[in-house]
Structure 1
Amino acid sequence: MFERFLRNRERKKLTDPHYGFLFEEQPGEWVSFDCETTSLDVKEAEILSIGAVKIRGNRVLASESFYVLVKPENPMKAANITVHGLRPTDLSDGIPVEEAVRQLLEFIGGRELVGYYLEYDVAMINKFMKPMLGIKLPNKQTDVSSLFHRWQSKQNAHDSYVDLRMDSMFKKLRLPDLPRHNALNDSINVALMYLLLKQRLK
């Protein structure tokens, strides 16, 4: 009841009624998403690319995916190119970040969000979304690192340490690992992890 009150209060802050669909939940569907950025500091970071994929029931819908390149406002540092493999020429035809966020919102709808250290990616979207629409992402959110920690804690009650690095999580779950530091691949990786962890936690 209180959660509904908070959602209704947030909805009243929405400055563009077109995006009211963000408050319409879609049970049984999720969106795994990831942002590649120039920094881990939300205040200074720019978004370079956004990837997302839909999950329906117990299936990752690779055919229903989303990927955009974003043209940064400032020159890229060499370290960014090393991590993401995205060169200035790759991003020269990228779209403005506000347009990228709007396209992502259309893709997400009211679905629950899934991610790996999702708080950071959500903060990056909110950084641009709040000035545009007056609200932050209202979608429910699940972080796979939290699910993994819960699963491992049940498996190893005697050992409080849980390795939450993505490569370690994949090895433990015996999942194939798509090449990382690509926003779409990371989204698919996380979607697979999410479905498996939900199954393991039943």
Structure 2
Amino acid sequence: MPGYFETAAGGGAAVALDEVEISILRSLAVQLLELIGPADADGAEPADPFAELFAEGPTEPPQDPALARLFPDAYEEKADSSEFRRYTENDLRTRKRGDALAVVRSLDALTAGGDGGAVLTLDAEQARRWLGTLNDLRLTMGTRLEITEDEDNELYRLPDSDPRKPLVMAYLWLGALQESLVETLMP
């Protein structure tokens, strides 16, 4: 089980993580939360959820390339994409924020074993939230690294002196985690 998700009782997934892996995952999820932004200007959830249903979101794509990757245009036509974004981006941000927060909370709830590691066990819903966050982290990191599909093979050959190497290693590790979680959850 070390480093890869495996099937857990009840249809969930489990993975053994050491202290360093827990710390890295938590830090990345917190950074994702910071990138996505708070629930509202004060960082609190809206007082009136019904009014929130009718709140309009932004009509322009985010300026930050990583956020633009997380919240892409839905249509080629700018007017159509703006209209779609206005009614969907707030909900998408809320879901992504909730998923990342669920990852942080599940990591915070781990009880360390004698070696400083722990086994993270997720039910089906938690696993879905983890998949979303792992995907969002990889999209964000890939954008920051300017990775395209054609460049993936180059990632394995970066010299240790390359300042991108730690981020690339984290990107590749998250990809392996994500792939093992997908495989674990497939029937």
Instruction: Tell me the TM-score normalised to structure 1 length.
Output: 0.25
Larger helix share, 1 or 2: 2
Larger strand share, 1 or 2: 1
Instruction: Tell me the TM-score normalised to structure 2 length.
Output: 0.27
Greater relative contact order: 1 or 2 (C-alpha under 8 angstroms, separation 6 or more)? 2
